[in-house]
Amino acid sequence: MTTLVLCVDRSDDIGRTAGLELPIVGWEAIRSLVTDVGLADPEDSSVNCLLETLRVARDLRDEREETVVAVVSGGDDSLVGADRSLSAQVDALVEEYDPESAIVVLDSANDERVVPVVESRVRIDSVDRVVVRQSHDIESTYYLLKQFLADEELRTTVLVPLGATLLFLPILLTQFPPAVALAGLAALLGAALLYKGLAIDEHLAEVPERVRAALYSGRVSVVTYAVSLGLALVGVFLGALSVTPQFGPESVVIRTMQFTYNAVPWLALAALTASAGRLLDELIGSDGVSTPYLNLPFGVVALGLVVRGFAGWFLQREAVLADPRLFGYVVTPQQRLAGFIVVGIVVSLVGVRVAASVSGDGLDDVVQ
């Protein structure tokens, strides 16, 4: 059984340092090569790689196993040419010595990339990577940074926000107090990371194509979506205007309920407009109308009534809203809330009934 102990030098550092052409085969030839490389560049890690190759071959010989020691390298400026040169050298060694297996000795992550090339020629039993103890942490950090910088997505996700933060930090510190400047930068950095982490950029990139496809297809929902967006903005604006300044621990809750009470009708109208446009698209289409699109407008109105009812109950209970009168009777907050809930449920049931009638399904099937 013959084992090929192969020292791999993809970048041809050994050949250039010693001024020799590879491959080099044989125990004595490699011992002489160690001296030549060590004298030319004592700090080169290739010396340790050659010594490790001799040590592995010696241990195998002590176990009475026949070995062939060789050094191969890439002999071209380009990576493709270097790998082809190295594979040709391995082919020549396999053809001459016919080894049953190989042990690959290397000293860098770059050399490790050619292991599949060797493995396609001869079976590899082991890969022995040599790292000088003094430079283990430095080398590991170097290759980690090199791999990180080679990844374009990681660079744009991490380095760009970090670089922008360092760029704007001195500008903000000269214009604002340190606490305000740091808080603003932290918020911007967090927003940038969320923007990439939630893939918002990918969704935004698809918006123009979707809008163009919708416009070309002549969908009514394109117009209704624009109208619903305007109605939603009106609702938010009117809800914000209705908020009155309050003081005390309950002020935040009161303001929230005031905003909700006044904004919900407009927000519900916006959702109703959008759902109506989608329903019209379904009616115009040839596939018919599905039950969910029929239920959606009624569900939006019912939800708006229920939410407005709860907000009105809270505001009336806190005396922010006056007690309404119905046929001369004062309506209590509980009665008001119950009325909104009942009306919301009725609207929802009407929607289910309408959807069942239009689609031809029974009421029990739609409810299920």
pLDDT at 366: 40
- Residue 25 has φ and ψ, to the nearest 5°, of -125, 140
Which of the 8 DSSP states describes residue 134?
G
Residue whose structure tokens are 């990339």: 113
| Cα 349–Cα 351–Cα 355 angle in degrees, nearest 5 | 120
- Which tokens is 97 given? 């010595």
Mean pLDDT of the chain: 81
Strands 124-129 and 101-106, bridge-based pairing: parallel
Strands 24-25 and 66-73, bridge-based pairing: antiparallel
Q: Note if the pTM is more than 0.85.
A: no
C-alpha dihedral, 247 to 250 to 255 to 260, nearest 10°:
-170
pLDDT at 322: 78
- Which tokens is 14 given? 């050994």
The answer to whether the peptide bond before residue 99 is cis (omega within 30 degrees of 0) is no
Which of the 8 DSSP states describes residue 104?
E
Interval 174-217: pLDDT, tens: 888 888 888 888 888 888 777 777 777 777 777 777 777 766 66
Measure the CA–CA gap between 103 and 53, rounded to whole angstroms: 9
Instruction: Give mean pLDDT, residues 333-355.
Output: 86
| pLDDT band at residue 134 using 50, 70 and 90 as cut-offs | low
Interval 23-76: pLDDT, tens: 889 999 999 999 988 888 887 788 889 999 999 999 999 988 899 999 998 876
When computed from its CA atoms, the radius of gyration of the chain, rounded to whole angstroms, is 38
Instruction: Give mean pLDDT, residues 70-91.
Output: 85
Q: Bridge-partner residues for 128, per DSSP? A: 105
pLDDT at 218: 62
| pLDDT band at residue 359 using 50, 70 and 90 as cut-offs | low
Measure the CA–CA gap between 170 and 179, rounded to whole angstroms: 13
Q: Is 312 helix (H, G, I), strand (E, B) or coil?
A: helix
Q: Is 44 within 8 Å of 13 (Cβ atoms)?
A: yes
Long-range contacts of 248-252 (CB under 8 A, 24+ apart): 250/318
pLDDT at 200: 78
Q: Specify which of 120-124, 141-145, 318-322, 353-357 reaches the highest per-range mean pLDDT.
A: 120-124
pLDDT at 367: 42
pLDDT at 280: 78
| pLDDT band at residue 362 using 50, 70 and 90 as cut-offs | very low
pLDDT at 194: 79
